Amino acid sequence: MKAFPLMLVLAAVTLPAQVSFERLLRASQEPQNWLTYSGGFDGRRYSSLSQVTSQNVKSLGQQWAFQARSLEKFEATPLVVDGVLYTVQAPNDVVALDAATGRIFWIYPYHPSPQSRPCCGNVNRGLAILNHTLFMATVDAHLIAIDATNGAPIWNVKVARPEAGYAMTMAPLVVKDKVIVGTAGGEYGIRGFIAAYEAKTGKEAWRFYTIPGKGEPGNDTWAGDSWMHGGAPVWVTGAYDPDLNLTYWGVGNPGPDWVAEMRGGDNLYSDCAVALDADTGALKWYFQFTPHDEFDYDSVQVPILADMDWKGSPRKVMLWANRNGFLYVLDRANGKFLLGKPFTKVTWATGLDERGRPMRAPGAVATPDGNRIYPGTMGGTNWNSPSYSSRTGLFYIPSWDNYYADYIKGTVEYAEGQLFLGPSPASPVAGLHPEQVPNRRAEDGYGAIRAFDPKTGEKKWEFKLSEVTDSGVLTTASDLVFAGGRDGYFFALDARNGELLWRATLGGPVASGPVSYAVDGKQYIAVSAGNTLFSYALRP
């Protein structure tokens, strides 16, 4: 054992630590690493590691734990590069750990401006890497480049004004020589955008506003001047198709969230999937899941890019389980709607028409006394990553079911930097508190990990949880599904039938997506819960 640290030092010196863009493109060929937020540009959260199987998964044991010096929710997905694990301690401290032992190499502390005011926690969802450089988007809307070797800052640019409610919580997406980010702030009347920065210098390369300006196509989907403070934030990492050279992003809710009559029209591109040219940011196509959203159904899910036989011919599709309670299959070359079905209880719409546009249920609007709508504000699913395995052909969704909110009619006025919402809907589901394992009634909604056949929209199985879940999902080549729940459990399921194979008690809610990686031939599965990051592997 005494030789081990020395060997690691040697390995760190001699291994090529440069994470070129070519390596990112071929991330699936080096499954020992987890090189992007979703494990690859296809957003699938699938690991081709197979050492841990349904036969031996019961022998998983905790290898190490890293306790963040933060009481905030631990939403970050780590990156793993050649034995080094990079994560973010909330709000914005970058941490480099030995992925085999959890020991700390370095911490880059960053203190966001006190002007920052992210709506829903001082959280961060992770990093991006290119060559020797890590990239972090901060809650005070800065983008920072950091040396992956020693944690030294390289450049720091201000992306937007935190005092106006802009914040960044997502892991950036690196495409070619650019770093792409979006900005949160949909609860503060921002005008959302996605922007690309030169990885070397931090110079802005392009910007796509998620709300068209005066005179641009789509601006007329906003009544009067409502487009100026219409929200449409982007706060979860997108996907990239190198053959089409398109990046795909989910856009958040229009604002004010719950006073929809102040913004008549469809409110493009809120609640849309947008396909942008990776080099220019030009809009190639869009698909709007919830036109004129009155329920806070952000479409900030990670797009899953899959290639499958679709009614007899191969097709490049996009799988999307939306906060509005419907799951969708789109053609990702052109945005064409292929299939859509509810995956959870939905009362705001009676279904989708042939183009995928929701048919609104009569009377499903906010009322002075509160009108009960399913799903509630947190949605049928939220930002928590789903997964897709081409081995099983199934689409795995962290789902909330039987969950509602009572939407109340009211008014609100815009003031810079202040919440721009309208009356908050009442819901029995409480916010996520990292310090407690909540105790609530199943009849007020529950969580489940559900598997769907994307070709039919049919549910194949579910694993029901007593609480709602904020966990992402990981699938592996040995047909395992890893996920967790608010009640502090982390578990492995059989990807083919949902059977529970193993579980661990982590003592705090899981609020991020698990990842898998390997060091010296040993497969690890890492997950955060409460404010701690845990790593598991087979016991000898």
Partner 1 sequence: MRFIPLFLALSAGTGFGQHAYSPADIDAGGTLYRSNCMKCHGPEGTTIAGVDLGHGTFRRASTDDDLARIIINGIPSTAMPPSGFSELQVKTIVAYLRSRANAGTAVSSEAARGKAIFEGKGGCHHCHRIYGDGPLTGPDLSQIGVLRGPLTIRQSIVDPDTTVPPENRYVRAVTRDGATFTGRVLSDDTFGLQILDSHEKLVSLAKANLREYAFLPNPMPSFRGKLSDQEISDLVSYLETLKGVAP
The set of catalytic residues is 296
| Comparison of 413 and 458: residue with beta carbon closer to partner 1 | 413
Residue with smaller CB distance to partner 1, 182 or 233: 233
Tokens of 397: 């969704």
Collapsing DSSP to helix, strand or coil, 537 comes out as strand
CB–CB of 146/156 below 8 Å?
no
From the list 53, 424, 455, 532, which residue makes contact with partner 1 (rule: CB under 8 A)? 424
Q: How far apart are CA 237 and CA 293, in angstroms?
A: 22
Shortest Cβ distance from residue 474 to partner 1 (Å)? 18
Ramachandran angles phi, psi of 221, nearest 5°: -90, 10
Report, in Å, the least distance between residue 91 CB and partner 1.
16
Site for partner 1 contains 488 (CB under 8 A): yes
Q: What is the DSSP letter of 395?
A: E
**CB closer to partner 1, 213 vs 507:** 507
Does position 349 bind partner 1 by CB under 8 A? Answer: no
DSSP class per residue in 26-47: TGGG-TT-B-STTSSTT---EE
Query: For 81-103, what is the HEC assignment?
Result: ECCEEEEEECCCEEEEEECCCCC
Which of residues 423, 432, 455, 494 is near partner 1 by CB under 8 A? 423
Q: Is 379 exposed, middle or buried (0-12, 13-18, 19+ CB in 10 A)?
A: buried
Q: How far is CA 449 from CA 62, 308, 446, in A?
A: 23, 23, 11
* Structure-token pair, residue 126: 């992770």
Residue 166: CB minimum distance to partner 1, A? 15
Span 384-413, contacts to partner 1 by CB under 8 A: 408, 410-413
Q: Considering beta carbons, is residue 29 or 411 the nearer one to partner 1? A: 411
Q: Least distance in Å: CB of 442 to partner 1?
A: 8
Q: Among 185, 485, 509, 514, which residue interacts with partner 1 (rule: CB under 8 A)? A: 485
Do 66 and 102 meet the contact criterion of CB atoms below 8 Å apart? Answer: yes
Q: Tell the smallest beta-carbon distance from residue 63 to partner 1 (Å).
A: 23
Say how far apart CA 227 and CA 92 lie, in whole Å.
31
Tell me the window of 34-42, 289-297, 392-400, 485-493 that interacts with partner 1 (CB under 8 A): 485-493
Q: How many other CB atoms sit within 10 Å of the CB of residue 359?
A: 10
Binding-site size, partner 1 (CB under 8 A) = 34
Give how far Cα 207 sits from Cα of 210, 250, 281, Å.
Answer: 10, 16, 6
Which C-beta is closer to partner 1: that of 291 or that of 410? 410
Q: Is 421 in the site for partner 1 (CB under 8 A)?
A: yes
Q: Which of 420, 502, 517, 534 binds partner 1 (CB under 8 A)?
A: 420
Question: Which of 14, 55, 313, 439: binder of partner 1 (CB under 8 A)?
Answer: 439
What single letter denotes the amino acid at residue 134? L
Q: What tokens were used for 479? A: 């047909």
One of 370, 457, 532, 538 touching partner 1 (CB under 8 A): 370
Q: Per CB under 8 A, does 121 bind partner 1?
A: no
Least gap, CB of 115 to partner 1 (angstroms): 8
45 binds partner 1 (CB under 8 A): no
Chosen residue from 132, 315, 503, 522 binding partner 1 by CB under 8 A = 503
- Residue closer to partner 1, measured from CB, 287 or 420: 420
Cα separation, 340 vs 398, whole angstroms: 17
3-state class (DSSP) for residue 58:
helix
Q: How far is the CB of 422 from partner 1 (least distance, A)?
A: 8
Residues 457-476 interacting with partner 1 (rule: CB under 8 A): 464-467
The residue length of the chain stands at: 540
Neighbour count for residue 406 (Cβ, 10 Å): 16
Paired with 181 in beta bridges are: 195
Instruction: Kindly tell me which residue out of 205, 365, 437, 538 binds partner 1, with binding defined by CB under 8 A.
Output: 437
Residues at the interface with partner 1 (CB under 8 A) = 117, 259, 368-370, 408, 410-413, 415, 417-426, 437, 439-441, 464-467, 485, 487-489, 503
